[in-house]
Amino acid sequence: MKYTTCFRPAIAALIFAGLSGNAISAQGERVQPKQLIVDKSLPQMQLKTNEAVARDYATFWNTGNETLARDALAANFVDKTPPEGRKQAYDKLMEHGIDALVAIGGDGTLTGARIFAQEFNYPIVGLPGTIDNDLYGTDITIGYDTALNTIMECVDKIRDTATSHDRLFFIEVMGRDAGFLALNGAIASGAEAAIIPEISMEKDQLAEMIETGFRKSKNSSIVLVAESEVTGGAMGVAERVKKEYPQFDVRVSILGHLQRGGSPTAQDRILATRMGVAAVDALLDDQRNVMMGIQNDEIVYVPFSKAIKNDKPINRDLLNTLRISSI
């Protein structure tokens, strides 16, 4: 058993005490090393302490008792041992003769792909598959157009109710910290406004929207709200309106997972096919750790690090487009 001396000095005496006298029976449940490699230049007491720490940590791996790990390791310890799941995945890839991977997903998927590729020196390229459209380096992601069309269809149906009952509807759409679905969904569906996280951090969108009198020329209003802690989501915005602007008859609709399903649009099918072909070509050209992106209708390679870490900016010209079109 190999180990390094990375343990809490404050508990060293306690661990050592556990190796002597009547406390040895408690230590009998600890893993016994088949081979012990030690630094013989250390004092004997230090060696015994280090052995106790190593046995604690080894027993944690066998039993899952996290208390042993916390006791054995220093507060600033970082375990860089690859999780068992990733090692199993690599072994299966080797077993089946799979030479490379194409990872399809958002920033979480690409982050995992990047880590896996680095740990095992394995060729991986990525495709941007997320309805949020928030990956840097590509104009559009796979699934975004389909979700946008779903939002448009849902808002069209909700408008019938909003118009007949003279109500203010807040419709929550997905996107996390990105407002692409809310902003473009509002434009496509003819909504009166969109509340998005990119702008919420700069100004009070709700107050501005109310103060500009956005309902003067219409007997109903629909506002799309991006789900986000920054915006407060549709429920948060609606509660605020009820308190601060009680003259409005407010309703909330959360589209939820409706946005994730359905038959893909023609644009998404074409985009996915183009990027899939490009991914195979990239692997054949010995590319790795890159995401397929599309810029100005051309396929580009975007390093995982940039796609994941950089924030994709919103097109602020579209905010003015929405404002003018809602008059």
| Amino acid symbol at 165 | H
* Paired strand residues for 294: 299
Angstrom distance (rounded) from CA 176 to CA 159: 24
For 190-265, where are the alpha helices, taking DSSP H only?
197-200, 205-211, 233-244
Residue 248 near residue 241 (C-beta atoms within 8 A): yes
- DSSP E strands in the chain: the ranges are 101-105, 124-128, 168-173, 193-195, 221-226, 250-254, 290-295, 298-303
φ, ψ at 302 (rounded to 5°) = -120, 120
Alpha-carbon distance of 51 to 49, in angstroms, equals 5
Determine phi and psi for 163, rounding to 5 degrees.
-70, -45
151: how many CB neighbours lie within 10 A of its CB?
26
Enumerate the active-site residues: 132
* Residue tagged 């995401």 (tokens): 291
Query: In angstroms, what CA-CA distances link 221 with 12, 204, 244, 292?
Result: 67, 19, 17, 39
Phi, psi of 123 (to 5 degrees): -70, 120
